[in-house]
Amino acid sequence: MSNRHLARTLALQTLFQWDFNGQKEILADVLSYNFKEFANDFNDEGFSLSLVEGVKKNVTEIDALIVKYAPEWPLDQITPTDRNCLRIGIYELKYDLNIPPKVAINEAIELAKTYGGDSSGKFINGVLGSIYKEMEQKGEKQNMDERIERETSVGGVVYYQDEKGCKVALILNAYNKWALPKGHLESGEDLVATAKREVAEETGLQNLEILDYLGQIEFKIKKPQIATILKTVHFYLIRSEDDKLVLPKTAELKDVSWFEPQEAWQKIDYENTKEVLARAFEILKITVQ
């Protein structure tokens, strides 16, 4: 079994459980459990986590496509396995520019053949084939010959708590924007290890505890005549045991500082980063305006 196919299998298993339990569980926790139980030594560099989070983020639109292209099958009457094979296939087909259409379709079919019923593969093929036919007619996803590169970074909402209250660590980047500390995932490194390493490198903080997964943000960077960079950034809620910040000697960072939650909220300009910060504050039961 290839690494990507194994990653998709773990994603399917995770989405199946999430779906079965009313879509109430935290996907990162379910996926982490499945890794420990079935692929403890496997490192997919965040691929399966990006996949399940991508499905979750777009599940309303994805399910609408299933209803449209499988009108004879009410969504809740499609088996959970087939339903989530379709979700994976549609997400990779419609939303992930790094996956060629034929790969997205074939991988979903293989998952359905392996884990679904006798007619599952044919059913998945019919639905995804119809979706792709309309995509071709509309000129969607026709830039697959363009060089596309994927980058994964990991960072965190880092906070320190003492008798005076809570404060959040932000870094001032090269664009004079306050942001959350983060950095690139290195080959062979898992997301948690990257989060700790990058936060330590950018803030000088060493005694760090990962508390929760906060989700991911995605964006594209176009480099004309070179490539389109698809960036995925995963974020964790991280508690620091000390508050001694050290600014690294690099041109990429201009400052690192603690802010009270309200001030940190006002300092952040990036809307997608604010969504991550909001999730952290919700967990910490912090109210900002």
Average pLDDT, stretch 192-198? 95
**pLDDT confidence of residue 70:** 95
Question: Domain ends where: 112, 138, 164?
Answer: 138
Collect all residues with Cβ–Cβ distance below 8 Å to 279 and sequence separation of at least 6.
Answer: 214, 215
Check whether residue 106 and residue 200 sit in a common domain. Answer: no
Check whether residue 217 and residue 194 sit in a common domain. Answer: yes
Residue 192: HSE in the Cβ half-sphere, 13 Å Cα cutoff? 10
Residue 90: HSE in the Cβ half-sphere, 13 Å Cα cutoff? 28
Average pLDDT, stretch 208-235? 83
Phi-psi category of residue 285: left, alpha or beta, with phi > 0 → left and psi -120 to 50 → alpha: left
Most confident of 26-30, 104-108, 141-145, 173-177: 104-108
Question: What CATH code is carried by the domain that includes residue 29?
Answer: 1.10.940.10
pLDDT higher than 80, residue 143? no
52-98 pLDDT, tens digit each: 999 999 999 999 999 999 999 999 999 999 999 999 999 999 988 77
- Report the share of the chain in percent with pLDDT over 90: 73
Average pLDDT, stretch 200-222? 92
The residue to which tokens 């690494």 are assigned: 3
Residue 70 domain-assigned (yes or no): yes
pLDDT higher than 70, residue 220? yes
Q: With CA atoms as reference, report the closest residue to 241 among 285, 210, 195.
A: 210
**pLDDT confidence of residue 226:** 53
Total number of domains in the chain:
2
Check whether residue 77 and residue 100 sit in a common domain. Answer: yes
Residue 289 domain-assigned (yes or no): no
**pLDDT confidence of residue 188:** 83
Q: Count H helices, E strands: the chain?
A: 10, 7
Average pLDDT, stretch 217-227? 70
**pLDDT confidence of residue 146:** 56
> Which residue range(s) make up the domain with 193?
148-284
Q: Does the predicted TM-score (pTM) go above 0.75?
A: no
Residue 125 domain-assigned (yes or no): yes
Check whether residue 90 and residue 175 sit in a common domain. Answer: no
Residue that wins the pLDDT comparison between 147 and 197: 197
pLDDT tier for residue 224 given thresholds of 50, 70 and 90: low
**pLDDT confidence of residue 157:** 98
**pLDDT confidence of residue 40:** 83
17-26 pLDDT, tens digit each: 999 999 988 8
Helix axes 47-57, 27-38, angle to 10 degrees: 150
